[in-house]
Amino acid sequence: MPPRGSLVPARFLALTAHLVLLLQLGWGRDPHVRASLPLEFSAEEYAHAERLLGGALGGALGLLGVEFVGFFAGVSMFHPGQSLLSLGAHAGAALALTLALLEGWDGGSFWLLFGLCSVPPAVTEVLLMVTVLGCRRRGL
């Protein structure tokens, strides 16, 4: 298989691994919420920390959904630049989230992962969708 063609399954696996780990963290986020709080905390502080962590995980899931739509629609499936960016970002996110699950990272770390590993590939995916669908609409 040529190197360009091997990006498609690798990208799919990285996207799927990122999705599975985000879902796993969403189901068991209590240790991560507690890690971001002091030893003595109130119910309001816990709820606030849980909302922050839920926002990071929910935002990452939403942006991952955007990428899955672009990927399965065929807009960016064979685009080598988008595939490399997405593969690198989501493979890195999968590794980082695995460490987070094993070590019990605090909630603030997930916002950093969100900004580094979810936002750039999703933004380029949306730009690519606009470009490709705009060219198809004009008949180019």
pTM above 0.95, yes or no: no
Question: What is the reported pLDDT for 26?
Answer: 92
Structure tokens at 112: 């950093």
123 located within any domain: yes
pLDDT tens-digit profile of 25-80? 999 999 999 998 999 999 999 999 999 999 999 999 999 999 999 999 999 998 99
One-letter amino acid at 89 equals A
Rounded-to-integer distance, Cα 57 and Cα 111, Å: 8
Residue 16's domain comprises: 7-138
Backbone angles phi, psi at 136, to 5 degrees: -65, -40
- DSSP-based three-state secondary structure for 133: helix
1 located within any domain: no
72 located within any domain: yes
Rounded-to-integer distance, Cα 33 and Cα 106, Å: 6
pLDDT tens-digit profile of 74-103? 999 989 999 999 999 999 999 999 999 999
Count of structural domains, the chain: 1
pLDDT tens-digit profile of 10-19? 999 999 999 9
